[in-house]
Amino acid sequence: MRNPIIVALDVPTAEKALQLAEQLAPVVGAFKIGKELFVSGGPEIVRKIRATGASVFLDLKFHDIPNTVAKAVAAATRLDVQMLTIHCSGGSEMMRAAEKAAQETALQSGRNAPLVLGVTVLTSFDSNGLSEIGAEANVGKQVERLAQLSVRSGIRGLVCSPLEIADLRQLLPKEIQLVTPGIRTGAEKADDQKRTLTPREAMDAGASWLVIGRPIYAAENPRAAAELILKTLE
């Protein structure tokens, strides 16, 4: 079985991130580096985490003109990340440019293209927020619209909330990879995640990858926590 656990390294320092990565690399599938860690640790933290042998998901959610996004995706590909994110709301031309840059740069560098993941509607948006920016006010409809647009634009994966997995699986070609945060085992203390599924439930609903942060990195023994989650997926 491919290990579907991606650990979100939402920790303040590169030292802490690297320590976690070294401890967890043998028992998880990848590590997610987000804006805070990348802005503080720079590309060097990506290289150091890749050096543990682990895959890296660079979650910088690119959104810009197609040429600029293509160049950022090319740079991330040269950095040898295995997944990265872009905003679907950047439009079809931007998404096509991102996918093309990933494929072409990978070919030139002799490695596999990273999986470019589209982010549809941020879970911080509600229908008021969507109306304010002039988008379709129904969150579910806007998610579907952007998901379909991204697939038509050649994107091979999406980030989605646990509660969107089942609907998106109905709607999209089966080879589209779905990456989902909002995972809780039930054992951890309550936090800001409101709509969650367990790792098993999310995989059964059709997730391809699970992004898990606090249930692993904030556990007393992160490695044991990851191993326990993996066991529930066997």
Q: Which residues participate in catalysis according to the annotation? A: 61
Smaller CB distance to ligand C5P: residue 123 or 153? 123
Range 69-128, binding ligand C5P (CB under 6 A): 123
- Using CB under 6 A, which residues numbered 118 to 137 contact ligand C5P? 123
Determine the Cα–Cα distance for residues 160 and 181; give it in Å rounded to an integer: 7
* Enclosing H/E stretch for 177: strand 177-180
Among 85, 142, 161, 198, binds ligand C5P (CB under 6 A): 161
Q: What are phi and psi of 178, to 5 degrees?
A: -115, 125
Smallest distance, ligand C5P to C-beta of residue 111, A: 25
Near ligand C5P by CB under 6 A: residue from 56, 143, 155, 211:
211
- Helices and strands (H, E) in the chain, number of each type: 10, 8
Beta bridge partners of 159: 119, 179
**213 lines the binding site for ligand C5P (CB under 6 A):** yes
Least Å distance, CB 102 to ligand C5P, is 21
Counting contacts by CB under 6 A, is residue 167 touching ligand C5P? no
Tokens 């529930």 correspond to 232
Q: Compute the C-alpha angle 42/7/157, nearest 5°.
A: 85
| DSSP string for residues in 16-60 | HHHHHHHHHGGG-SEEEE-HHHHHHHHHHHHHHHHTTT-EEEEEE
Of the two residues 34 and 206, which places its CB atom closer to ligand C5P in the complex? 34
Of positions 78, 96, 200, 214, contacts ligand C5P by CB under 6 A: 214
Count residues binding ligand C5P (CB under 6 A): 13
Position closest to ligand C5P via CB: 213
Interface with ligand C5P includes 36 (CB under 6 A)? no
Cα distance between the two ends of the chain: 8
The answer to whether the CB of 74 falls within 8 A of the CB of 105 is: yes
Q: Which residues bind ligand C5P (CB under 6 A)?
A: 8, 10, 34, 123, 161, 181-182, 193, 211-215
